[in-house]
Structure 1
Amino acid sequence: MLEVKGLTVKAGDRIILEDISLTIAPGEVHILLGPNGSGKSTLLRAIMGMGDQEIVSGKIIYNGEEITRLTVDERARLGLGIAVQHSPALPEVRLRDLAGLLAERYGTSWRSPAQALNCEHLLDRGLNEHFSGGESKRAELLQLMIQNPRLLLVDEPESGVDLENIALVGEALNTLLKGEKIKERAKSGLIITHTGYILNYVNADRGYVLLNGRLVCEGNPRDLFEVINKRGFEGCLECATCKRIYGS
């Protein structure tokens, strides 16, 4: 499904990601952990082809095709989709109109996802105009569900979401990842999380810890999160055998 090989990314003169390699097989969901500023969002945006960062070296391969230099639109047509952490406000664009355009483009429906995400009351408002953090996140996930991509890149789906709606968001994301197994090929995902709440709803196969732009640990995501809760992210640097312990 997705292979990232030796990816190094910079913004201006600063290296943000260095020699990143990972593989996500069809149907697998991987979790990305790391402190603020470690490069997590940059990695997702680089995979999607977003932003003004520069890929210095390495390759991004999707379903056997190198997509390193493709545009965002070209990657979306191949089946990649992203839900970012912070979306800009577009008061002149109603969420209903955007949802309708996306549904027409991808041959899907927006009504069922809007109901599942409990965001029908947002449809006639300008996109992200005075939305709370949770409302903005649900609007972002609505767009992703309408697109119905094969590979989901999701940046902190629980960020800004109150406890009452975390289950709603988690279950909606899990439903999207599972799809209709009889009719659809398996979807894959790469999800950033700070709180770990999403692990209660999504069956994650593998986890990574990103520190200072480098992957330093990988393994069972629940085990990794437990270690981080006890020792902090820096504890990963102290564990020279972390890959052997968690499996690689």
Structure 2
Amino acid sequence: MTILFQQQWDEWHTAHEKRRADPHGFLAITSLNWLNESPQRFDDAPGSWSTGPSGVVVSLADGEELVVDGVAVTGTHQFAPLAERADIAVGWGKVVIEIARRGGFDVIRPRDPSSPVLAGYTGTSAYPADEKWVVPGYFTPYESPRPTPVGSVSEGIEHVYESPGTVSFSVGGDELSLIAFNGATPGSLFVLFTDATSGLTTYAANRSLFIAPPGPDGSVTLDFNRATNLPCAYTEFATCPLPPAGNKLPVAIEAGELKPQ
């Protein structure tokens, strides 16, 4: 392994850990609250919350206020309807209230920098970085993107992701393939998967891997050293998707992040 490869991995993992430990990141979540048409109050958020076809509504009592788009609001406030997997953040002192739509339901999740989970977080170990786990592959697009339903760590919730195609590659002589989803940046992809290490040395439910945009010939690179845990590996207040049925690899991917201790 070259010194440069190790240095680049160290820099990547340090940056990833910094994002994970953000004061208002998912480690700071203190509850997951599912909204319906009946107003509800929660111990770790101000106001009474409900939702309906016109969006989420909060009714704040005397002396309560939220900061929405930099403006203090009191009384009753109506939020616009959210698209699936969309979210907004509003302020309540040092706490950020996340308002989100997951699996067809509206939720709120307070994010408190003094969360015990965040305060107790000491980092995530990983397999030693190894260039043998930088694997060449090939992206095969579908004729048209396919809506792909997947399960969730939250019982009764189903997520639907748009899959543009599959990624094929080889590990130890085994020809493998994963259903890919559109990534966060234009042209990029990501895959959710489990493998023979899942539940043993790595998190049982899922791991995620970002893949840079395919080349003109469809070539891609899967750097399994950068396979990461999703929020559900750390908090019960996550709604993470599970891998598609076809993304259960029969081989051991001994690379990337280990399960939290």
* TM-score for the superposition, normalised by structure 1: 0.24
Greater strand content: 2
Greater helix content: 1
- Larger Rg over CA atoms: 2
* TM-score for the superposition, normalised by structure 2: 0.23
